[in-house]
Structure 1
């Protein structure tokens, strides 16, 4: 009986923290999806955070911040807006990607920029 009690205690000790885990776990899953979407739709022009069409419009933190200052919104929302509407040579992905996919790829871009690509 004490073996069963010990086993149950171990299971609860391992599972309980996951049940009360912060939303960061969901972000990690979204980040995986965001990376997949980025690889499929964006990497041709923005591989490694660069920009093959306009070298000054990279996704590196310095260039991204300079560009995002033009927006009166949260940086993540500004990235989402850029993905949805496109601008200049960048096509619009509204209607091509779902809202959840746009959020996932914007989150991935923001996180990668902060990490230095």
Structure 2
């Protein structure tokens, strides 16, 4: 096989002893090739397992990131806004609305079904109530009036209330997943 692979090679002039060596080498080569293929059948599953173990974490991360259940921010700026909204919520709202609930008025939670039932299911409506207040909910806007309807605590700027309204709406749409401490 070794010499016969060379085109136009005539091996008839080779001595019988050399011819036997070439035949033995070809036999050895073919046996080794078969043995390697047999060993590969045992080695291959181990290599595949190692490959899968190396590939599993990034594939799982990609699956989670691209999953329709989780809606990641579209940009870095949006991620910062979400974090700022969570921080504002933790600072100003969590005392009454921990995890989207309402410890003062149970029927006025921040869950989507209660927001819809109370006619506050848009970001604009959430903004309006956060700014001016409604019922037992105090207003947090800088220009909130009448005085008794507004918070006695620190007031929020208009852009902060917008961030809060966006944050509350997005959390309500997701069923209020665990927000942790909001990155304070």
**TM-score interval, smaller chain:** 0.7 to 0.9
Bigger Rg over Cα: 2
1:49 deviates by 0.3
CA distance in 2, matches of 1:31, 1:83: 17
2:96 aligned with 1:45, yes or no?
yes
SS at match of 2:104: coil
1:77 to 108, 112, 124: 124
Could you give the per-residue CA deviations for residues 4-29 of structure 1, whole angstroms, max 9, x where no partner exists?
A: xxxxxxxxxxxxxxxxxxx9323322
Hey, what's the Cα distance between the residues in 1 that align with 2:98 and 2:162?
Answer: 19
Q: What count of residue pairs does the alignment treat as equivalent?
A: 91
Unmatched tracts of structure 1, length 5 or more: 1-22
State which of 164, 167, 176 in structure 2 corresponds to 1:108: 167
CA RMSD of the aligned region, Å? Answer: 1.6
What are structure 2's unaligned runs of at least 5 residues? 1-72, 143-154, 177-184
The two structures have a TM-score, normalised by structure 2, of: 0.47
Q: Which residue number corresponds to residue 111 of structure 2? A: 60
Higher helix proportion: 1
